[in-house]
Amino acid sequence: HSLEYRKKHVAIGKHNTSYGSGLGDAPFVDSKNSAMDLKKWKNQFQLNFQQTKDPNTLVFDMIGIDAALANAIRRIVIADVPTVAIHRCYILNNTSVMQDEVLAHRLGLLPLCFNPDLFEFPPDETVVTMIDSIPEPEENLNLVFRLQVTCERDSSGKLQNQTVYAKHLKWVPIGDQKKRFKDNPPKFVYDKIIITKLGIGQTIDLTVHCAKGIGRDHAKWSPVATATYRILPSILFKKPLTQTQAKELVDICPLKVFEIEEGVVVAKNPRKCTVCRECIRKDGWDDLIALGRVRDHFIFSIESTGSIPPTQIFLTALEILQNKIDRLSNNLAAET
């Protein structure tokens, strides 16, 4: 593989990968120039949105950044973007089959549709042991929901409330929250999430306080189902293929990456490629096809749980990255 190829791609062979990015693009940077020619980078950096079927998933391409930056953003999206979720459960009565702690755990994981910027982080709390009464919630820190469900027979003899859904949790506004959130009351993203099931006569009566937190503390506060990126595969032909080889190649690819255009086989849909390496598995095909990944082309996929829109998640993640870097810069200046 030529140096030009190595600069731009990570090569993937039949049994191994070569020219991986442990050092990133550092070996290929022309060390006569300045370390980071920002203007040149800005000109070749691209960010393109892609179509998705799900409005809560954002898929976009970032071309021209480094693997470390892509990973840093991914880590921040998963662990450092704050959300508001159910934090403390004060259970007055629970005669259902589900234990208190299991119920509380499930409640914490329910995604809450609420803008976390409206709240502040709660102060550090000491470990709570025994309490006499539910602590006072604060209007800048907590949301309060109430869950009161009993499974009983109604007047016509039918069983009601056999299943407890997320919609059974009712918001209780405290302080000036009723006025503040009049247009946009806090609610759960999916009303139909099953919390637990009740038998006849069983009842659940609890109050929950919601608080702001980050995914690093507990996964319930992570705003994404997951955030992933993959690197665009690149398929280049080292030698021209014969007609039979071309037909074979088009058939062998399970994802229909190749097509024959004007008698020549081309890699029409490299985005669909999952690098299964079927196309280079046969003897000798390794010399025909150069399979690899384009080093700096990242296809991000941010799947929000619905609590925060995915574009907002990404922007918040970038702000958090800025804050982290600024904090280091200030502390470094103070240290020296």
Partner 1 sequence: MNAPERTQAFVLDEDSGEVKIVYSADTKVANAGTFRLNKEDHTVGNLLRMQLLRDPNVRFAGYYHPHPLVYFLDMKIQTNNSTVAPVEVLSSAIEDLANETDHLITQFQDAMESWKRENDHAEMATQF
Residue 227 CA to residue 58 CA, distance in Å, equals 9
**CB under 8 A: which stretch of 68-76, 93-101, 139-147, 198-206 binds partner 1?**
68-76
By CB under 8 A, tell whether 128 contacts partner 1: no
Task: Compare residues 66 and 286 and give the one whose CB is closer to partner 1.
Answer: 66
By CB under 8 A, tell whether 322 contacts partner 1: yes
Q: Minimum CB separation from partner 1 for residue 122, in Å? A: 11
Contact predicate 89/123, CB 8 Å: no
Contacting partner 1 within 195-214 (CB under 8 A): 214
**Pattern 71-100, partner 1, x by CB under 8 A:** xx--xx--xx--------------------
By CB under 8 A, tell whether 184 contacts partner 1: yes
Number of shown-chain residues binding partner 1 (CB under 8 A): 65
Residue 282 CA to residue 253 CA, distance in Å, equals 12
By CB under 8 A, tell whether 192 contacts partner 1: no
By CB under 8 A, tell whether 228 contacts partner 1: no
Which of 4, 15, 16, 42 contacts partner 1 by CB under 8 A? 42
Q: Which two tokens stand for residue 281?
A: 């598995």
Tell me the three state secondary structure of residue 258.
strand
Instruction: Give, for 226, the enclosing helix (H) or strand (E).
Output: strand 224-237
Q: Minimum CB separation from partner 1 for residue 255, in Å? A: 25
By CB under 8 A, tell whether 40 contacts partner 1: no
Which of 2, 3, 4, 124 contacts partner 1 by CB under 8 A? 124
By CB under 8 A, tell whether 312 contacts partner 1: yes
Q: Minimum CB separation from partner 1 for residue 309, in Å? A: 4
Tell me the three state secondary structure of residue 59.
strand
Regarding beta strands 112-113 and 17-18, do their DSSP bridges make them parallel or antiparallel, or are they unpaired?
A: unpaired
Which of 1, 13, 17, 55 contacts partner 1 by CB under 8 A? 55
Burial 49-64 (b: 16+ CB within 10 A, else e): eeeeeeebebbbbbee
- 333: how many CB neighbours lie within 10 A of its CB? 8
By CB under 8 A, tell whether 113 contacts partner 1: yes
Instruction: Give, for 299, the enclosing helix (H) or strand (E).
Output: strand 289-304
Contact predicate 161/198, CB 8 Å: yes
By CB under 8 A, tell whether 219 contacts partner 1: no
Contact predicate 203/151, CB 8 Å: yes
Residue 25 CA to residue 6 CA, distance in Å, equals 10
Residue in the structure block whose two tokens are 């937190």: 213
Hey, CA dihedral for 216, 314, 169, 166, is it positive or negative?
negative
Write out the residues near partner 1 by the rule CB under 8 A. Answer: 23-26, 29, 31-32, 35-36, 38, 41-42, 45, 47-49, 51-52, 55-56, 58, 60, 65-69, 71-72, 75-76, 79-80, 113-115, 124, 184, 214, 216-218, 304, 308-312, 314-315, 318-319, 321-322, 324-329, 331-333, 335-336
